[in-house]
Structures are given as structure tokens and as C-alpha cells.
């Protein structure tokens, strides 16, 4: 990559490692390897993992299924970060173990909000008026 190419997105390697970490975390949580009552009783989806370019940091986006008790789920994941980091590091071959940071995935909420706005009668009417003018 040239120094002038900084506007390009993440490299294929960064994306691949992020997806590998996502799969590993999903597997750990689904198997119940984390001994935490909140994680045992609340299904969690790891929706995305964004790795830093140097692969030392991973931002993990999570969604509590049905959107319930998301703060409790995030707290449980953050409480168990050391265990999760150690387990991921043992399964991903990298020079450094990535530090995990857990965040709620808000993209589903944003999509629902946009969908709701598009169904608003005023917006539907405006879109229909625009189509008739064309």
C-alpha cells in the first residue's frame, strides 16, 4: 500500500482476522465456555469485529437477541474480557493478542428507525408526488 492510499478500507488480512475473531467469540459464547449467568441466559450475537490495522485492538459489536438486557450483556462480556482475550489469542496465530473492546451494535436500531420513517404517511405521500412528477 502506498502512503497516499490511506483512504482505502481495511486490508484483506485485517478483514480476515476480524472475521476469524468473530467466529471464535461466537463459538465460545454459544458453547457456554464463559461461566457467566447473564451470558448463559441471554442469547448474544457477535455481529462484527473490526480490527485495528496493526491487529492489536479488536472492537467487537454485539447484539443481545431480541434486544433485551443489552447493558447487562455488555457488562458480562466486559467482565470476562481477560478470559475471552486469552482464548481468542490461543486460537488465532498472531504476534500479539488483540485487546477486545465490546460495544452494542446500533446498526439494527438505525435500520428500524429509517424503515419506520419511510413508512410515515407524509413521506410516502411525498415520494409518490415525486414519482408522478418524473
In the chain, what are the domain boundaries?
Answer: 3-105
The three grid cell numbers given for residue 61, joined into one nine-digit string: 459489536
Q: Which three cell numbers, joined as nine digits, stand for 42?
A: 441471554
What is this structure's pTM? Answer: 0.73
**Section 13-28 average pLDDT:** 95
Give the pLDDT confidence of 45-63 residue by residue, as tens digits. 999 999 999 999 999 999 9
Choosing among 2.60.40.10, 3.40.50.970, 3.40.50.2300, 3.30.300.20, the CATH entry for 3-105 is 3.30.300.20
| 57-64 and 44-51 strand pairing | antiparallel
Q: Are 92 and 17 in contact (CB under 8 A)?
A: yes
Amino acid at each position: 500500500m502506498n502512503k497516499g492510499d490511506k483512504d482505502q478500507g481495511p486490508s484483506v488480512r485485517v478483514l480476515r482476522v476480524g472475521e476469524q475473531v468473530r467466529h471464535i467469540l461466537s463459538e465460545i459464547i454459544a458453547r457456554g465456555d464463559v461461566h457467566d449467568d447473564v451470558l448463559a441466559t441471554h442469547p448474544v450475537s457477535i455481529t462484527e469485529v473490526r480490527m485495528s490495522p496493526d491487529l492489536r485492538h479488536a472492537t467487537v459489536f454485539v447484539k443481545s437477541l431480541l434486544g433485551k438486557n443489552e447493558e447487562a450483556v455488555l457488562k458480562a462480556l466486559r467482565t470476562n474480557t481477560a478470559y475471552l482475550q486469552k482464548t481468542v489469542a490461543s486460537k488465532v496465530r498472531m504476534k500479539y493478542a488483540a485487546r477486545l473492546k465490546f460495544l452494542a451494535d446500533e446498526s439494527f436500531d438505525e435500520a428500524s428507525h429509517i424503515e419506520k420513517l419511510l413508512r410515515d404517511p407524509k413521506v410516502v405521500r411525498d415520494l409518490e408526488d415525486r414519482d408522478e412528477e418524473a
